[in-house]
Chain A
């Protein structure tokens, strides 16, 4: 296996504990785009402290699945309960869930007209009503954590892709989320920048954050995840602990997928 981003450093597992508390509960959830059935009978429970990697071929519905968790996509049947709040059409619940769940996008989606610091303080100030000064302190704390405090007063357009993605992570963390969703966070990055983003994500995992990552970084999955979910054609095909998943996949579809992405 020749993974250029294989995680070589020692992972500190002291904080990485999965509790019994349920963070996300998805029950027989279905979603359609028009007539196209994108997500089919999804059942899934995520406990607090879990680090789940979701993989699968493109168009398998993995992004759609995690976007349903903070209601960027609406599901048509079944139930999604995040932190005890069920996602329905009630806007109050949706806003509550969204302020508890951080999301990192493939294309960063930073706000180009605001400085890095303003990007990070915007939601705490307007959604959490944090005083500006306090929000800025929190933002600087997280910018230091992702190792770019010196860029705080620049604009997103002046930063490299990897730096922008780390800002996006810091921006989510400023809301003090209990769950983090990552939607292919490294897919739009140049190879040499992937590592810096993965390092940030690993640190987050080491602190015990509940994480759902859609990613093709199998090195990250092996090092950090406690569960790997494989999706195809809108359904969960296989899930297992990383070791078992990679070394002993059960379904033919999984075997084919793994041989394709790890084979070269």
Chain B
């Protein structure tokens, strides 16, 4: 085409050629990402130097770690013996010796099988909620949980009869997962009562009585919803259940308990601690705050002025008060206001306030999701004749919650980490409470990094899993441009 001739016909099509080496593979990546300009090159070199300094400083400490020792002094001695005077080394022996406190706090050692079994049941009960029911995954999951549980029970020296009973229970669960996975939902439904019973012990009849209240709500609702509508029906149900809980339940469960004394040894709330405490508070508050948050978000968008005002007031008040203030309220003030004999468990009070706190944030996250939905979705649902609650449940919430997943999971992660704040009201959380106790021990005086690294790592694993789960969910629910 050099001859400036306007007319041109290609006679042969060009094949594609390999790009030059500078535009290929690792070289291209390094050039583009690390050395694209002079400033960039300097920053890269500085970064490499910083990483080197951090690793060269800390790696020996990790590598020199001691796993078997009975005190800090012994640790230092072993490090000095093996790596020379002045060498530094981590003293993981502390964790080796105190792991049970980090996990269970002051929970009686011979009863460790109870929280362990409760934890395994919790995982089984979460499955139908977090994943779609599927025979294969359910079987594999329950199978793996059972095997791990058996190993853990063996590890915490469970008595033989208990071991056999739990083994039988999980054999049934695996069989159900294999044969009829949809019935696993019953594990989820019963878990609040079973979990409570396993953790705190006491008579079987109190959790049964508490569950009976929920059954009452369900019955009242299904009997009245056609005549009274969903909100009023539920409201009447809640009132009847409250009457049951407050005035009738104790008169029924008391005689039952004396007639047939079934139950476990009682464990007090102040014996809870470590990650057991963090999980009890975190998991309960997470599962309770989502429904409360949804209701608050709907309330805030309601046409009814009273409901709207109450929701707005509640959300704004809770968001305006620091969590620590509320925890102090939970531990001190409530006790002043309630009648002197009322025994209102401290963990329960903390759970209620943490739930309320996180529900207010979740309500706002969900409100964002609701606001992002086009008006047409509401109109289409209305035009098809769906009533308000059907439209919310089938059309609006599935979409709004999907939009809000990242925000909701952030709130959950924040909530789980905030469980460490209960140290301020005297509960033995893993980070502050237990670590303080360990460091107060004369044997472990001067230990500093190890407990925090250990606790931090476990928190990281849990929070990172939540974050990955949210990404999995977002991907799974992606519906457009597929």
Using CB atoms and an 8 Å cutoff, list the residues of chain A in contact with chain B: 70-72, 91, 95, 98-99, 101-103, 105, 107-113, 122-123, 126-127, 155-158, 171-172, 175
Q: Is B477 touching A98 in the complex (CB atoms < 8 A)?
A: no
Q: Is A72 touching B477 in the complex (CB atoms < 8 A)?
A: no
Least CB distance, B314 to chain A, in whole angstroms: 27
The CA-CA distance from A99 to B381 in the complex, in Å, is: 11
Least CB distance, B105 to chain A, in whole angstroms: 43
Least CB distance, A239 to chain B, in whole angstroms: 25
Using CB atoms and an 8 Å cutoff, list the residues of chain B in contact with chain A: 374, 376-377, 379-380, 382-387, 390, 394-395, 398-399, 402, 477, 479-482
Mind listing 26 A-B residue pairs with CB under 8 Å? A70-B382, A70-B383, A91-B387, A98-B382, A98-B383, A101-B383, A102-B383, A103-B383, A105-B376, A105-B379, A105-B380, A105-B383, A109-B374, A111-B380, A111-B395, A113-B398, A122-B384, A122-B394, A123-B385, A126-B390, A127-B384, A155-B479, A157-B479, A157-B482, A171-B384, A175-B385
Q: Is B385 touching A109 in the complex (CB atoms < 8 A)?
A: no
Closest Cβ neighbor of A154 among chain B residues:
B482
Q: Is B376 touching A107 in the complex (CB atoms < 8 A)?
A: yes
On whether A109 and B379 interact (CB within 8 A), knowing A126-B394, A157-B479, the answer reads yes
The CA-CA distance from A204 to B297 in the complex, in Å, is: 41
Interfacial chain B residues near A113, Cβ < 8 Å: 398-399, 402, 477, 479
Least CB distance, A219 to chain B, in whole angstroms: 27
The CA-CA distance from A99 to B379 in the complex, in Å, is: 13
The CA-CA distance from A89 to B124 in the complex, in Å, is: 47
Q: Is A112 touching B386 in the complex (CB atoms < 8 A)?
A: no
Interfacial chain B residues near A111, Cβ < 8 Å: 377, 380, 395, 399
Closest Cβ neighbor of B395 among chain A residues:
A111
On whether A157 and B481 interact (CB within 8 A), knowing A95-B385, A95-B387, A98-B382, the answer reads yes
The CA-CA distance from A196 to B383 in the complex, in Å, is: 23
The CA-CA distance from A158 to B482 in the complex, in Å, is: 7
Interfacial chain A residues near B480, Cβ < 8 Å: 112, 155, 157
Interfacial chain B residues near A70, Cβ < 8 Å: 382-383
Interfacial chain A residues near B482, Cβ < 8 Å: 155, 157-158
Given A113-B402, A122-B395, A123-B386, 11 further pairs, Cβ under 8 A: A71-B382, A72-B379, A99-B384, A107-B376, A111-B399, A122-B394, A155-B482, A157-B480, A158-B482, A172-B383, A175-B384
Closest Cβ neighbor of A126 among chain B residues:
B390
Closest Cβ neighbor of B379 among chain A residues:
A72
Closest Cβ neighbor of A98 among chain B residues:
B385
Interfacial chain B residues near A101, Cβ < 8 Å: 383
Closest Cβ neighbor of A67 among chain B residues:
B379
Q: Is A109 touching B376 in the complex (CB atoms < 8 A)?
A: yes
Least CB distance, B480 to chain A, in whole angstroms: 4
Least CB distance, A171 to chain B, in whole angstroms: 7
The CA-CA distance from A111 to B396 in the complex, in Å, is: 9
The CA-CA distance from A155 to B374 in the complex, in Å, is: 17
Closest Cβ neighbor of B373 among chain A residues:
A112
The CA-CA distance from A172 to B385 in the complex, in Å, is: 10
Closest Cβ neighbor of A127 among chain B residues:
B385
Interfacial chain B residues near A123, Cβ < 8 Å: 384-386
Least CB distance, A259 to chain B, in whole angstroms: 33
Interfacial chain B residues near A105, Cβ < 8 Å: 376, 379-380, 383
The CA-CA distance from A113 to B377 in the complex, in Å, is: 11
Q: Is B385 touching A110 in the complex (CB atoms < 8 A)?
A: no
Interfacial chain A residues near B380, Cβ < 8 Å: 103, 105, 109-111
The CA-CA distance from A157 to B481 in the complex, in Å, is: 6
Q: Which of A72, A108, A175 has the most CB of B within 10 A?
A: A72
Closest Cβ neighbor of B383 among chain A residues:
A103
The CA-CA distance from A156 to B376 in the complex, in Å, is: 14
Give 8 nearest A-B pairs by CB, closest first.
A157-B480, A99-B385, A109-B380, A109-B376, A123-B384, A103-B383, A98-B385, A127-B385
Interfacial chain B residues near A102, Cβ < 8 Å: 383
Closest Cβ neighbor of A72 among chain B residues:
B379
Q: Is B382 touching A72 in the complex (CB atoms < 8 A)?
A: yes
Closest Cβ neighbor of A158 among chain B residues:
B482
Q: Which of B374, B385, B387, B394 has the most CB of A within 10 A?
A: B385
Closest Cβ neighbor of A122 among chain B residues:
B394
The CA-CA distance from A91 to B398 in the complex, in Å, is: 24
The CA-CA distance from A91 to B387 in the complex, in Å, is: 9
On whether A98 and B399 interact (CB within 8 A), knowing A113-B477, A122-B394, A126-B390, the answer reads no
Least CB distance, B389 to chain A, in whole angstroms: 10
The CA-CA distance from A112 to B399 in the complex, in Å, is: 8
The CA-CA distance from A126 to B386 in the complex, in Å, is: 7
Interfacial chain A residues near B387, Cβ < 8 Å: 91, 95
The CA-CA distance from A157 to B482 in the complex, in Å, is: 8
Closest Cβ neighbor of A104 among chain B residues:
B383
Interfacial chain A residues near B382, Cβ < 8 Å: 70-72, 98
Closest Cβ neighbor of B388 among chain A residues:
A91
Least CB distance, B303 to chain A, in whole angstroms: 12
The CA-CA distance from A98 to B402 in the complex, in Å, is: 28
Interfacial chain A residues near B377, Cβ < 8 Å: 109, 111
Q: Is B379 touching A127 in the complex (CB atoms < 8 A)?
A: no
Least CB distance, A151 to chain B, in whole angstroms: 14
Least CB distance, A132 to chain B, in whole angstroms: 14
The CA-CA distance from A105 to B377 in the complex, in Å, is: 11
The CA-CA distance from A171 to B395 in the complex, in Å, is: 14
The CA-CA distance from A91 to B477 in the complex, in Å, is: 33
Q: Which of A98, A108, A155, A156 contacts B384 (CB 8 A)?
A: A98
